[in-house]
Structure 1
């Protein structure tokens, strides 16, 4: 019953802090100087880069407090996806089901319902002043064709997590993902790590500690979020490239653009696969068991989810058959090359 007075007090506190803090604090202050040539080179070479303490502590706390305000005032919504299912009981007509993750709440900062609020000035400025996007747009190479951004507030309750996935397959223009974590006093035992899979290299695990900013390729970096043992906040910026064949072709290859290899038959084959869109399919085979486990850990166990898992398993079968055909084509030129996916993965 005390909720409304508490929220009014919090809003007044945020308003008074807004008037006292200088403009550069509301804009993120020293992020600009964090966007170095080292960051750019690392992102393009490895497909990811982690920035420590890119923003002032008080600025981060204001962002987190405003995210908490959105959550406690009921302005975050469950993370869910609509899927179509052929309804055999209704002459095969399509019906829409909701595929929902458990304990994940979020909202987009571009929504008028958020941007029109005077109670979240730091979040509003984070989006409107292009705090993460603009320095990256100026620093990253022109061939990426960066042209716009979107920001999302996200809250994970206890055990909330995300399955293995790519943020984009290129059709929506997402190019770079930047996740800012806002969790003070975070211990390793609290879980909630983001795990990056720069296949075929080893996985990279990053704790969601206060002020960590993780950047990675939206189209090429497989990743997941592990279950957390306490609530967890993240503020994500997605950066988009403009429509156009050049930007699309270049961003498809992204960090494998600079990859080199010895020119023996096996390495030449692997390089060709890794530089093609098929890499994103092959990685599903490489992590098939872990991928399925992550899906079950992340979603509510509903009819929609079981249908989704059936589709996922069928997709794996199609990918495995396509991989076998692809290897057969390579073997017509060199019979010493792998014959099965097991031989390919062990090579």
Structure 2
């Protein structure tokens, strides 16, 4: 888990942040291309490649604490939690702190902290449809997914499929490099469709501080 720090939002980020806030108000989700400076996007891509090379990815599970279990029938990704020990990870977490502060100011969400991990899905792997949080039962409020896959092609699969509350497909998001998806955690069931190639991302959640750690399915 990554506790937040206070930092001022750079003026150059304001147009993008306003676009995100407008979309969250109207639709509850947003897809942003070229979300980060190219140098940071490339550094994060290199970082996850290094983590995979040294074998520092762990099989992901579902649930929290005592309820946490490995369930390969539901999800088949491996993960590595981010912290501030590496410059590229610090860059990502700082960008998310800017988003947290602005969302609190504009949308009054009361976001308290942020947690995130790298995720690797090998060919054929996916994550079945789930919510990141259930109404009244979790303190995850806003979910983020950021992609690290260069030269990804439409036929490669691995899309993030987002549904509405009536289980109707809203969109399928290709996991291309430097694309960011943000959505309200309680509102949208979603799934990761199997891919033909290795698929890398950063999954994250903004949390509030008014509920207990009880069962939820991480994205």
Residue in structure 1 matched with residue 122 of structure 2 by the alignment: 157
Change over 3 Å in CA distance of 1:202–1:158 after alignment to 2: closer
Choose the corresponding residue for 2:138, options 172, 176, 181. 172
Choose the corresponding residue for 2:202, options 232, 235, 243. 235
Q: Following superposition of structure 1 onto structure 2, how do residues 158-307 of structure 1 map, counting pairs within 5 Å?
A: 158-169=123-134, 170-200=136-166, 202-243=169-210
Choose the corresponding residue for 1:109, options 82, 90, 93. 82
What is the SS of the residue equivalent to 1:43? helix
What is the SS of the residue equivalent to 1:53? coil
Change over 3 Å in CA distance of 1:158–1:46 after alignment to 2: same
The answer to whether the aligner puts 1:80 opposite 2:61 as a matched pair is: yes
Does the 8 Å contact 1:29/1:56 carry over to 2?
no
Task: Compare CA radii of gyration and give the structure with the larger one.
Answer: 1
Does the 8 Å contact 1:39/1:49 carry over to 2?
yes
Superposition TM-score, scaled by structure 2 size: 0.79
Superposition TM-score, scaled by structure 1 size: 0.51
Structure 1 moving runs of 4+ over 6 Å: none
Residue in structure 2 matched with residue 6 of structure 1 by the alignment: none
* Partners of 2:76 and 2:107 in 1: CA distance: 39
Choose the corresponding residue for 1:132, options 96, 100, 114. 96
The answer to whether the aligner puts 1:42 opposite 2:15 as a matched pair is: no
Which structure 2 residue ranges, 5 or more long, are not aligned? 1-8, 212-219
Does the 8 Å contact 1:28/1:55 carry over to 2?
no
Does the 8 Å contact 1:161/1:226 carry over to 2?
yes
* Partners of 1:204 and 1:143 in 2: CA distance: 27
Q: How many correspondences in the alignment?
A: 196
Change over 3 Å in CA distance of 1:32–1:162 after alignment to 2: farther
What is the SS of the residue equivalent to 2:206? strand
How much does 1:142 deviate?
5.1
Residue in structure 2 matched with residue 70 of structure 1 by the alignment: 51
How much does 1:161 deviate?
0.6
What is the SS of the residue equivalent to 2:112? strand
Change over 3 Å in CA distance of 1:139–1:97 after alignment to 2: closer
**Structure 1 residues 222-241: Cα deviation after superposition (integer angstroms, max 9, x where no partner):** 10010000001101221112
Does the 8 Å contact 2:23/2:30 carry over to 1?
yes
Note the aligned Cα RMSD (angstroms).
2.7
Change over 3 Å in CA distance of 1:148–1:98 after alignment to 2: closer
Residue in structure 2 matched with residue 99 of structure 1 by the alignment: 71
How much does 1:97 deviate?
6.5
What is the SS of the residue equivalent to 2:165? coil
Change over 3 Å in CA distance of 1:30–1:188 after alignment to 2: farther
* Partners of 2:152 and 2:138 in 1: CA distance: 34
What is the SS of the residue equivalent to 2:108? helix
Does the 8 Å contact 1:133/1:237 carry over to 2?
no
Residue in structure 1 matched with residue 37 of structure 2 by the alignment: 56
* Partners of 1:97 and 1:198 in 2: CA distance: 27
